Structure 1
Amino acid sequence: MPDKAHYGLLKGKKGIVFGPLDESSIGWQIALHAYNEGAEIAISNVATALRFGNIDELAGKCGDAPVIVCDATKNEDVDKAFVELKKKFGPVDFIVHSIGMSQNIRKQMPYEELNYEWFMRTLDVSGMSLHRLVSYALRNGAINDGGSILALSYIASQRNYWTYSDMGDAKSLLESIVRSYGPRLAQRGIRINTISQSPTYTKAGSGIPGFEQMHEYSDLMSPLGNASAEECAEYAVTLLSDLTRKVTMQNLFHDGGYSSMGATIPMIRLAHEALHDEDLARRVDLEDYKPSR
C-alpha cells in the first residue's frame, strides 16, 4: 500500500489476527494495515484455510509473520496457539477475532428449519470462539496489560436481516461476550470491542443469499456509502492503538451512517415507484408486503 499514509500508530506493538483467508477478507486487511502501522504480526487460521487460502502470501507481506494453525472451536488448539505465540513474541498487545461461518447459510436452510447441529457450530465458530480466545490468552499470560481485543460484528445482531439467518444470533452472542468480558478485562486495562461493518464482499459475506441486493440497498441507505474492507482495517488500527485506551465494551458502527438512517430520498422514491408498479411489485414478491392503507 505505497500510496497510503502511515502514522506509526502501532509501532513497538505485537499482535495476532485470527481468521484471515484471502485479500477480500477483513482480517487480511487488518493484519496488513497493522503491520504497515509498525506492529509485529502473527496470523492464525484452521489447517484447511492454510491449504486453500493465500495466507503464506499475507505472511510475506507482513514481514514473514509467523503462521499459527488453530481451530478456535477446540480448547487444546487455542491453548497451544497461545503457548506458541508467547514463545515467538512474548505477550502481545492486541488480538483480532475475524472468524465466522454458517453451514445453514451455505446450504440455504430457512431459519424456521435450521439444522441444529449446524446452528450450534455457527454459534461456536462465530461467537463462542471469541470467549475461548480471550480465556486462553489470559490463562497463558499471552496479552499485555493495556492491550486491545477486537472482533467483527454486523448490524444483524440487533435487527432482523432475513437471509443472515443464524449468523444474526451468533453476532448477538459475540457482542454479549464483549460486554460480559469488558469489566473483567478492565482490571488490567485491557479493552474489548466489536466493529459493526457494512456488508462487505468477503468469501463469507458473498455466500449469503441475496448478498448483492443487501450490498446495493445498504449503499443507497448510507449517507457516506458502504465501507470497504480496507477502510474497516484503517478504523480497526485506531482501536488497536493507544489512542482508544478508554474505549471498551462498545459495538462501533463502521457503515457510512447506515445504522442511524431511517430512509434516504432515493430509497423512498424507489419504494414508492415499486409499490405503484403492479408488474414490478409482482416480480419482486411485494404483493405480500403491501403497507396498510
Structure 2
Amino acid sequence: MAYNLLKGKKGIIFGALNEMSIAWKVAEKCLEEGAQIVLTNTPLSIRMGKVEAFAEKNHIPLIPADATNVEDLNHLLKESMRHFGGKIDFILHSVAMSLNVRKKRSYDDLDYDFLQKTLDISAISFHKVLQCAKKLDAINEWGSVVALSYVAAQRTMYEYNDMADAKAMLESIARSFGYIYGREKKIRINTISQSPTMTTAGSGIKGFDSLVDFADRMSPLGNATAEECAGYCICLFSDLTRKITMQNLYHDGGFSSMGMSYRAMHQYNKSFDTEKD
C-alpha cells in the first residue's frame, strides 16, 4: 500500500546492485511513494549488476560515481540538482565492502591495506558524501540522510571481521555530522541497524546463512526483510520524522534487546540430544 509519503521529494540512492539489494528495494519504494530519484553506483558495480536495466525501465537517471572519490561525488550531486532543477531532499548510503572478508583474512591477521579500503568504502565514504553535499548546499532544509549499519558496531559478531569497525565509524560519523548539519541546515542524519539480510554482499560472509537463522530464532518478531527495511527508510525520508537525528535505529525484530530466546535455547538443547544419540 502506498501513502504518498514522499510526494514531491527528490533523492539519491547509493548502492543498488540487483533485486537482492536493500538499496534496490528502497528505490522501488521511493517511486511507489511518489519520489523522484537518481541512482548511483560504481562503474564496475553497474556493469556487474542489473541497476542499468532498472533505471531504464523506470526512466531514472543512473550516474556512475565512486563514493570514495570526492570529484565523482561533486559531479553526482551537481548533475542530480541539474536534473531535479533544485536541491535534493534525501540520500540513502548503502555502500560497504571488505577485502579482508572476501579474502577470508581473520580479524587477528588483517591485511592493513585491505583494512584502509574497508574503512574508506564502508564508512569514510559516508563522511565524503555529507561533506560534499554540505559544501554544495545540495540538500533542502529538513532533508534526511540515512546509512545502513549493523549491530556488529556494538557487539562482537562471529566472522563479521573489520566490517564491525567500519560500521562503528559509520555510526559515529552520523552523530558528529548530524550535530553540525542539524544545527546549521536542519538536516537530519541517522543510521539503520538492520537485521542480517541475504544480499549479494552479505552472502559473501562466511557462515552468513547461519547468522541469519540464528538472528531469526533470537528475534521475537523475526528478522526484518529488505522490503521492510525499505519501508523504514521511507519513513525516515518523510516529514513524519523531522525531529529524529543522530540516532542509530535498530530495525531487527527485537534482536538487539535479546539475551536468549526460547527458540534459540530449544535449538541449543537439541544439539546436546543429538550428541547423546
Q: Name the amino acid aligned to 1:11.
A: K
Q: Name the amino acid aligned to 2:214.
A: Y
Corresponding position of 2:222 = 225
Uncovered stretches (5+) of structure 1, i.e. residues with no partner? 281-293
Mean CA deviation greater in 262-271 or 236-245: 262-271
TM-score normalised by length of structure 1 = 0.91
Corresponding position of 1:70 = 65
Deviations 1:31-83 (A, max 9, x none): 1101110000000000011111111222135x311111100111111111112
Within 5 A, what are the aligned runs for 1:137-156? 137-156=133-152
Match of 2:81 among 82, 86, 109: 86
> Equivalents in 1 of 2:109, 2:273: separation in Å?
34
Corresponding position of 2:178 = 182
SS of alignment partner, residue 68 of structure 1: coil
**Once the 2 structures are TM-superposed, how far is the Cα of residue 269 of structure 1 from its aligned partner?**
2.4
**Once the 2 structures are TM-superposed, how far is the Cα of residue 268 of structure 1 from its aligned partner?**
1.4
Q: Name the amino acid aligned to 1:92.
A: I
Alignment of 1:247 onto 2:253: no
SS of alignment partner, residue 145 of structure 1: strand
Q: Name the amino acid aligned to 1:94.
A: F
**Once the 2 structures are TM-superposed, how far is the Cα of residue 278 of structure 1 from its aligned partner?**
4.2
Contact in 2 for aligned 1:32/1:58 (Cα 8 Å): no
Contact in 2 for aligned 1:85/1:142 (Cα 8 Å): no
> Equivalents in 1 of 2:176, 2:272: separation in Å?
44
Alignment of 1:19 onto 2:25: no
Contact in 2 for aligned 1:16/1:94 (Cα 8 Å): yes
SS of alignment partner, residue 176 of structure 1: helix
Deviations 1:186-235 (A, max 9, x none): 12111000111011010110100000100110110011111110110011
Corresponding position of 1:259 = 256
Corresponding position of 1:98 = 94
Within 5 A, what are the aligned runs for 1:152-163? 152-163=148-159
> Equivalents in 1 of 2:81, 2:137: separation in Å?
8
Deviations 1:151-207 (A, max 9, x none): 000000000012100000000000000010111111211100011101101011010
Match of 2:206 among 206, 209, 221: 209
Deviations 1:216-274 (A, max 9, x none): 10110011111110110011100000000000011111111111111111211222343
Corresponding position of 1:113 = 109
Aligned residue pairs, count: 275
**Once the 2 structures are TM-superposed, how far is the Cα of residue 277 of structure 1 from its aligned partner?**
5.2
TM-score normalised by length of structure 2 = 0.96
Deviations 1:124-150 (A, max 9, x none): 000000000011011112111110000
Deviations 1:93-134 (A, max 9, x none): 001100000011011111111110010000000000000001
Q: Name the amino acid aligned to 1:7.
A: Y
Q: Name the amino acid aligned to 1:84.
A: E
Mean CA deviation greater in 237-246 or 187-196: 187-196
> Equivalents in 2 of 1:104, 1:146: separation in Å?
38
> Equivalents in 2 of 1:84, 1:98: separation in Å?
20
What is the root-mean-square deviation in Å for CA atoms of aligned residues? Answer: 1.3
Contact in 2 for aligned 1:73/1:124 (Cα 8 Å): yes
